[in-house]
Structure 1
Amino acid sequence: MRRWLGVTASAALVAAAVSGCGTPAGTDGDLTDDWRPVAEARQFTPQAGECHVVAEPTAYLTSHQPVDCAKAHLVETFHIGTFTGDLAARPVPPRVGSAAMRSAFAECDAKAKEYVGGEWRDARLSVQVAPTSPAGWTGGSRWYRCDLFELDPVSGANGDNDRPVNRAGSLRGVLKAATPLRYGCAEEDDWSNLLAVPCTKFHRFEYVGVWTAPDVSYDDATKDEDAVHAKCRPVIARYAKVPVDGMLRYRTGSTYRFPSEQAWARGDRGVRCWYWSSGKKLTRSIAGGGTKVLPIN
């Protein structure tokens, strides 16, 4: 009974207070017409030209903290693409590394060549696609980031991993001029890693170009070494300007580096090819040297 009386008394006090106050001066008594309308929700969209210290290929708003590209960073966004068609109709964004992301990677691949001024695989560079987060997708976002990053001179350059390394400075137009990022002449260390050396120094290896592997599993692509060497020999021939004929295998040795498994999963099918002198050390480049530089042995 005590509880019921307390509620009744409170209600009476409130009623008395309201009835005694009236409408305050300067108001119209309508408590709803003075509220500002809630602004329309704005979707978060990153911008091309931003650099990031967070390298994960999923673009969450909470981790979007772009920095000046002149300062230390891990990845650089060079293009913003849009999922369309059946991909855009999915209830969730395509999973990173899935076959559904291949078309996005193909666009990023082409845009990366434009951005750096050449074939980005000719240098210690890699490309990834970062789709909008699941929450952003639910809110209507259908964009994806195309990111570019520098690879480690040893483990990254030899296809062992695909982790970005810290760098300062934009990669825009980096291949339009001489750069230490570009592959060139190399020598092998005790662990079969190719290490860059000036072409005027003794060396047995030289980067010659890239060919595109078929869209198969990583295991299937890498299991037939003879077939990979056979694909690299014409690349060497074009680079050195020698005939692509039955004698080519007697002019040159070859080695190659596949993309890392992480890069392969993203869609990178570029196999980097290297000339190998089969033991004789050179002190010049074989580029354009013809049969004088690559005689039949």
Structure 2
Amino acid sequence: MRRWRGGTALAALIMVVLAGCGAPAGTDGDLTDDWRPVGKVEQFTPKVGDCHLIGDPTSYLTSYQPVDCAQPHLVETFHIGRFTGALAARPSPPRVGSAVLRPAFAECDTQAREFLGGDWHAARLVVQVAPASPSGWAGGSRWFRCDVFEVSAVETDGDSRSDWPAQHAGTLRDALKDPASPLAYGCLEGTIGGLLQVPCTSAHWIEYAGTWTAPEVPFATLAGDEDRIHAACRTVIAGYVKLPVDRLLPYRTSTLYGLPSQAAWARGDRQVRCFVWSYDLMKRSVKGGGPRALPVH
């Protein structure tokens, strides 16, 4: 009897509650039909043309505070790429400096030449890749930033200082279209710890000639093979000056070279910069000058 009475009481209670949930006068009983539709959730994506006060290759949303490129800044974003295939399926973003970022670096390298109007290796410029942050990656972001920045010195020793950004004001778009760009290496003089850019019409001993693509070997192996690098750079110089590649070439000029920094090597940069180091004091560019520009000594 107690159980039966309890069921009756519960049924009565349900009826009372349901009766209290009836639609008020003037309503249709649908609580959601007048709500605005929820917008599609979009992942944060950086913008091409943004400039930044932070030079590190990181992409945390909390530190993403772009500034007008006309103001002093450290890096400029010139391209946004996207990881696809197996890379995009990774549970975490590729680590900065890891080998898996090399295809992204190659894309940035190609896009940089178009953006700058020339090869950035021929200037006081550095290109780097900044993948999405771990939290952004977990949320579905699969982009990477291509950034470019200026460095203050022309260095040839391959240490990490060449990866330190210097403050720059203004966009770097088309910065290398003019061969006389103040960023382009051109003609140089030796100083303590590096090279100093000088007008080619002033007295100098050194001139940038181009790059040699190093083989896929460990950085230490390349750095220890100086004879191979000098021989390769002599060939680069021969093409730049229009010299015959023969047994007399080493008697026409000495060579100087600049390795990528170890950080640049890790991200995929294999370009070794080659410089003419003349036996004679020069007061003009030797580009295309032929055998008379660098006579045999």
TM-score computed with the length of structure 1 as normaliser: 0.86
Pick from 165, 186, 189 the counterpart of residue 187 of structure 1: 189
CA distance in 2, matches of 1:249, 1:186: 20
Tell me if the contact between 1:158 and 1:194 (Cα under 8 Å) persists in the aligned partners: no
Tell me if the contact between 1:92 and 1:138 (Cα under 8 Å) persists in the aligned partners: yes
| Most deviating of 68-77 and 226-235 | 68-77
Deviation at residue 35 of structure 1 after TM alignment: 5.4
1:170 to 2:159 alignment: no
Q: Return the letter of the residue paired with 2:134.
A: P
CA distance in 2, matches of 1:45, 1:256: 39
Tell me if the contact between 1:207 and 1:273 (Cα under 8 Å) persists in the aligned partners: yes
Matches within 5 A, 1:1-297: 36-154=36-154, 159-160=158-159, 161=161, 162-177=163-178, 178-189=180-191, 191-278=192-279, 280-297=280-297
CA distance in 1, matches of 2:193, 2:137: 44
Q: Which runs of 5+ in 2 are unaligned?
A: 1-18
Tell me if the contact between 1:150 and 1:164 (Cα under 8 Å) persists in the aligned partners: yes
Q: Return the letter of the residue paired with 1:281.
A: L
CA distance in 2, matches of 1:236, 1:46: 40
CA distance in 2, matches of 1:102, 1:89: 17
* C-alpha RMSD of matched pairs (Å): 2.2
CA distance in 2, matches of 1:192, 1:166: 20
Q: Return the letter of the residue paired with 2:186.
A: G
Q: Return the letter of the residue paired with 1:249.
A: P
Provide the identity percentage: 61
Tell me if the contact between 1:218 and 1:264 (Cα under 8 Å) persists in the aligned partners: yes
Q: Return the letter of the residue paired with 1:186.
A: L
Deviations 1:145-173 (Å, cap 9, x if unpaired)?
11111111255x76442111110111111
Deviation at residue 205 of structure 1 after TM alignment: 0.8
Aligned residues: 275
Deviations 1:65-114 (Å, cap 9, x if unpaired)?
11111111111111111101110111111111000000000010011011
Q: 3-state SS of the aligned residue for 1:195?
A: strand
TM-score computed with the length of structure 2 as normaliser: 0.86
Q: Return the letter of the residue paired with 1:76.
A: E
Counterpart position of 1:16 = none
Provide closer, same or farther for how the CA distance between residues 30 and 85 of structure 1 changes in structure 2, counting only shifts above 3 A.
closer
